[in-house]
Amino acid sequence: MENSTHYEVFRLAAYGDIGQMKYFYFAVVSVLYFVIILANALLIGVICIERSLHEPMYLFLCALFVNQLYGSTGLFPALMFYLLSDTHDISLLYCYLQIYVLYTYAITEFCNLAVMSYDRYISICYPLQYNNIMTPKTICGGVTCGLILLSWVYSFFLNGIVISLSLRLQFCGNVLDRVYCDNYSVVKLACSNTMLNNIWGLLVTVLYISCTICPTIYSYVRILQICLKSSKETKQKAFNTCTPHIASLLNFLFGCLFVVLQGRYDTAHLPPILRTILLVYFLICPPLFNPLMYGVRMVNIRQACKKVLGLNPET
């Protein structure tokens, strides 16, 4: 251990000296956060209130929207505070709490999207057995709610170990080139041995790829095989139900990829504002566009929203 120091705070250097532009950025971020809360909360409320939407597909969507509110809350309040603040120091406790929230959000999002792809796979490939397999019985029973609960528990467990391993580290510096805390940047500042952190980080990556991305790919390969041998009506049904999900998956995947690439490669040649946008993309764009996309694309949700809001569902 060389020149380690007991730091009480980390400094978020990505805010820099933005001068009077901080008020403009604050206004933009405030509007984005308001729209995210409004759109996600509206669809959560509509799905909970409207009994016709108490089906597996819509319950999975509800879980997706809840997770997006959870992840956004891990970023936006702190982002808005530091934009207006003259100091950009974050306590170790809040830094680790933010890491935990953002990382559980990310893994739970992948889990939710994987479960949704499984739901679409059962619906399209085994339509006659669908209601027997995907049962939404009561609040805490049935396969549907079990899969939703498993997604959260899986994410909380994996990231609990990530945080416990990071808490033991001693640091040689406290400057993070970020607008929020992320575990990879924190571990890079450590003077102490990070072998366990690196091994567990690799294991977590393998686990969530094998448990989320691989099943998602398999589901869509099987859906494609069925569609190639099916009628035009079946193909149209698959297209209508799978397009929003594929768009959501790619949107979130690209956002996570931007974060990973910035952590592994030098992006100093990029403008600071572009680097920041790429870093927060996975926390802003999916929570912003997913409820809008599902609300527009899915007829049942659109009609239920109009009904709950007192509008004519037929318009």
pLDDT tens readout for residues 231-251 = 777 777 777 778 888 888 889
Contact (Cβ atoms closer than 8 angstroms) between residue 226 and residue 126 = no
Which residues are within 8 A (CB) of 136 and not within 5 positions of it... i.e. 6 or more apart? 54, 55, 56, 59, 142, 144, 145
Which range is most confident: 103-107, 195-199, 258-262, 272-276?
A: 103-107
Residue 249: helix, strand or coil by DSSP? helix
Q: What is the CATH number of domain 9-308?
A: 1.20.1070.10
User: What is the enclosing helix (H) or strand (E) of 10?
Assistant: strand 9-12
Rg, Å, the chain Cα set = 21
Report which of 133, 309, 119, 142 is spatially closest to residue 223, judged by C-alpha positions: 119
Question: What is the chain's length?
Answer: 315
Q: Who has greater pLDDT, 46 or 127?
A: 46
Query: Helices (DSSP H) in 50-91: which residue ranges?
Result: 56-84
Give residue-wise pLDDT tens across range 267-303: 777 788 888 888 899 999 999 999 988 887 777 888 8
Measured distance CA(14)–CA(34) in Å, rounded: 24
Residue type, 29: V
End-to-end Cα distance, the chain: 68
Other C-beta atoms within 10 Å of 61: how many? 26
pLDDT at 315 over 60: no
Largest interatomic CA distance in the chain: 70
Whole-prediction pTM value? 0.90
pLDDT at 200 over 80: yes
CA 126 vs. chain centroid, Å, equals 29
State mean pLDDT over 74-80.
93
- Mean pLDDT, the chain, integer: 85
Give residue-wise pLDDT tens across range 169-185: 888 888 988 899 988 88
Measured distance CA(280)–CA(276) in Å, rounded: 6
pLDDT at 99 over 90: yes
Kindly indicate the confidence band of residue 4, based on its pLDDT and cuts at 50, 70 and 90: low
Question: What local confidence, expressed as pLDDT, does residue 232 receive?
Answer: 77
Residue 81: helix, strand or coil by DSSP? helix
Question: What local confidence, expressed as pLDDT, does residue 141 receive?
Answer: 58
